[in-house]
Amino acid sequence: AYESENTRGLDNLRARQKVFVELALLTIALIGLFVFYPMTVLIKSETGKLLAARNELNAILETVGKAIITLNGRGRIVGINREVELVWGYSRAELLGRDPTRLLAAADGERFAPERLAPGSKHEFRGRRKNGDEFPLELTLARAAVGDHTLFIIAGEDITDRRRAEDSLRQQSAALAAA
């Protein structure tokens, strides 16, 4: 009788433990359903919005028609758009992490210091392509604080055609003045 009562007591205890475990699992499942699932849906939604915004920004940067170079606070290239590759002839991989002065003629490379250039103002330099050719270049600089660091955004344009047009106008003006 003692063993039978003991066995019943153990069976009863096991049944209670099983019910307790099942209730605990059910509680965890309900918490997951009502707390974590909505959070997951929200995170997926926000992630989708961030990806869409990033893709939109990339589309703008890639089609703006200006060479865009982004420098970190140490003056190293951290981003470029496709126009940079077209104008200078370097690939993205060849420029990322590098000093931007490799894109300028030697004399201009020495005077290029983004931290000393006035944001928004235009500056003329001589650019140097990967093949060594030099060309007139106009750069506009902007600064952006991102968290605890600064980015320098440089918009560049090969102004060779503009210089040719200006030279042509000067020659025509001189010819008219001489006539």
pLDDT at 30: 84
- Indicate yes or no: pTM above 0.75: no
pLDDT at 36: 79
pLDDT at 12: 83
What residues in the chain have per-residue pLDDT under 50?
A: none
Contact 104, 112 (CB under 8 A): yes
Which residues share a beta bridge with 138? 124, 157
Secondary structure of the chain in HEC code, one letter for each residue = CHHHHHHHHHHHHHHHHHHHHHHHHHHHHHHHHHHHHHHHHHHHHHHHHHHHHHHHHHHHHHHCCCEEEEECCCCCEEEECHHHHHHHCCCHHHHCCCCHHHHECHHHHHHCCHHHCCCCCEEEEEEECCCCCEEEEEEEEEEEEECCEEEEEEEEEECHHHHHHHHHHHHHHHHHHHC
pLDDT at 1: 57
